[in-house]
Structures are given as C-alpha cells and as structure tokens.
Structure 1
Amino acid sequence: MNQLIPTHSNESGNLLVSGRELHEFLEIGTRYNDWFTRMLEYGFTENVDFILVTQKRATNNPKNPMAEFTDHHVKIEMAKEICMIQRNEKGRQARQYFLELERKWNSPEMVIKRAHEFLERKVAALTTENLVLVQQNNELQPKASYYDMVLQNKSLLSVSKIAKDYGMSATAMNRKLYELGVQYKQGDIWLLYAKYQDKGYTQTSTHVIDADNSKVSTKWTQKGRLFIYDLLKSNGVLPMIEREVSA
C-alpha cells in the first residue's frame, strides 16, 4: 500500500501520525488548531492518545521569519477514530490505510525485524559512546570525577540509582525531568518526549510476572545518564560527588 500519510514510531512501539498531516489529507476546511480542539471533545487524552509537539517553521513575514506552531503526534488508534468521525470518502480511505498499516506493523515478521534493529542500534550506540566518553573524560576536566564513575559502569540504571547521585529520590528526579520537558508519564511508566526518543538515552523492557501479568519498566543507559548530567548542570544542579570536590 502506498504511503498516503507519513507515520513514525516511538520507543514504546506505538505507530504515530502527525495531526497536521492527517488534517491536510482529510481536506478539512477548518483551521487546524480549531479542528483538533473539536476532535478532543470526543474524549481523547493528552499523553495517552496523543502528544503535544511544538516546532518552528519558516514564514513569509520578514519581521518574524521563524514562527512557533503546534502539532500533535497521534496514535493510530486515535487517528482511526478521527477518520470515522469525518464521515466522508477521505476519512474512509485514511481509516482503511491505517488498518492495513496496523496489520503489517503487528505481523510476526515486523515484530522480529524491529527487535533486531533495536538491538543493532543499541550495540552501535554503545560502541560509539564509549569512544566519545573517553574523549570527553580527557578533555573536560570539570566533569572528570563524574565521567570517570560513569565510564566504569556499563549497565542500565534505574532512575532511583541516578537520583541517588544527586541526593534526590526517584520521585523528585522524575518530576525534575518532567519540569525540564524531557519526559511525560503514561500510565505507570515514564516515557521520553519525541525529540529525545531514538537517541539511546533509555531502554524499555517488559518483565513477565506470570501468564497473565507483566510489568513494563524504563531504564537509563550510560548515555542517558550523561545527558541528565549535562542537562542538570546547565540548570545549576550538580551530582553529590562534584559538590564534595568543589567544597
């Protein structure tokens, strides 16, 4: 099937579509923001059914060449319902497209393919990151003590372990990362916003409890740990080890 509307996926394995691109395909006459607000009246929830995204784009206004505009990364499930609401041929066509896309996406072949690609990205990221960390450790003296500690640890980390480096609780660290626009909460799990996805900062895994129950958890990679370090330092928050050194 031809790609009628571009889609992408997030680290949780959800297929997403741009709300603006869906709006354009459906040939809606109403302004996008007004239309999307009306669609929300059907019970859709932010950070569950869609994610708000703010971006910059060029304009024809010389006084304001780059304007900020909002878009929404919409889950395929929500997109299908929106298409039904339109009650026209374009909506029917888009819904059939999403149904076929979903079928292919969830086929055993595609599930295995995504898992293989995920592992390849992780291996490549770890190999590259090891070289970068060594260089940074040698060149950035103010970071040396914390970077040394990170380089000695290759395992995935829970947020509580990283929080301990800063004398924080896991709850306080998650709240801080939320306030800084890094992550949002979906159900019981914290997920990265779109611009931080696919950067190798986190890894989501499923722990099977029994035949009917499982638990999904997000762990931070060493790359993600250093990302948090740089982010918090730029906001005036240092790890305990560097506070002790400076004292």
Structure 2
Amino acid sequence: MSNLIPIEINDQLQQEVSARKLHEGLGMNRDFTNWFKYQAEKLSLREGADFTPILAESTGGRPSIDYKVPIDIAKHICMISGGELAHQIREHFIQAERAWNSPEQVMARAVQIANQRINSLQLIIEEQKPKVIFAEALETSGNSILIGELAKILRQNGIEIGQNRLFEKLREEGYLIKRGESYNQPTQYSMEMGLFEIKKRTITNPDGSVRATTTTKVTGKGQIYFVNKFKKQIA
C-alpha cells in the first residue's frame, strides 16, 4: 500500500500526501476534481491551511491540478470513504505517523532544524562580513573627509542630497552650529559622539600677519553614522 500512497515530507518537515494518489488508491469511480471538491466541502477544508494546490504532470504530459494534504486530513478522508481499501490505507497512514512521531524521529528533526538555522546564520554572517570589515576599518581609520565629500558618499548610497542642503540639514538637526563665529562648526553634542573633528592651521598673510583657520571634517565613525541615519530616513 505504501507504494500506492507515498508519504512526502514538505519544507516544514510535515507529512503530506498527494490527493490524486489517494483518490487513485481508494479506487474512486468519481472524477478527481468533483471527488476532492466534495471531500473539501464535507470536511470544511480551507485552501492554504488544510490543503495546498499544485500543478502535477498528467499521463498526457500536460500539467494537471493536484492537492497536497496533511496526513491527518488524509486519514479523515479515508475514514469517511469507508470500505476495506480505505481502512488499509488509513492504517498505513497511522503507522507512518506513529513512526514519524517517535522520540528518535522527533529528536532527529530537532537536530535537522537546528542545523538549518545555524547554516542560515552562517550565510548571513558571511554576507555581512565584508560590510562589517569595511565599517570597522573606516571607523578606526584616520580618513576624515570634508562635508562636501560626505554628500558625494550619501549620493552613492542612494541619498540624493547636495553639499549646501547637507550643511543645512546638519544645522537643523543640531550637528553643526547655526550662527555666530563658530557657524558650521560641530556642536558639542556631535563632537562628543565622535562624528566630526576640527583641523586647525595658521596662515601667514603677505603683510606678515598670521590668521588661524578651522576646517570641519567628518570622521570615519561619522561617515558610517550619517549614511545609516539618512538611509533610514528614506526607507
């Protein structure tokens, strides 16, 4: 009987059978489509919850509709069908279900699921590793850049913003000073976060006088911070 009604294991590690093969194994005279429709109505089966429609190869080579049904639903169909064949098939399902739910099989499935999750996590780690290495290298490097260069990096990451608009936004959100002698220099808040650094230098004028200049630069940590921040805003 197991050759007539094979039991399959789906992606959720659940036992299921082909409704067409069950219809054939039960020796039903009624055509498959109307037979299954009757069973679904009688048992109040819901598509997606109690059965899944699929396309299967027919004997003529053209796709035909089939349904995957859980083994417990298949047992119910056998029970209401009646007859010796239905009884034998139902007993076959009961034995298969009993073996599937034995402590050894349950433990084996638990190990399989755990291994699948570990493999999935390892794939995620491998995919993220280059990004993590790049971020860590950028954060710890001394490669500070001008705010205009940050605007270019943001555009490369899908954030359409120019240099002037970026300055304006950084002032609006409290990262740069809005007015006064320190206009466009980092606020205490952003300096404490390590997002910016100030480069100071002195310039000797032609008349011999000396003047000091300051340039605001975005640190590696700041570059990562602002790319992530602005990407979230457009998500």
TM-score by length of structure 2 reads: 0.48
Rg larger for: 2
Q: Compare relative contact order (CA 8 Å, sep 6+) and give the higher one, 1 or 2.
A: 1
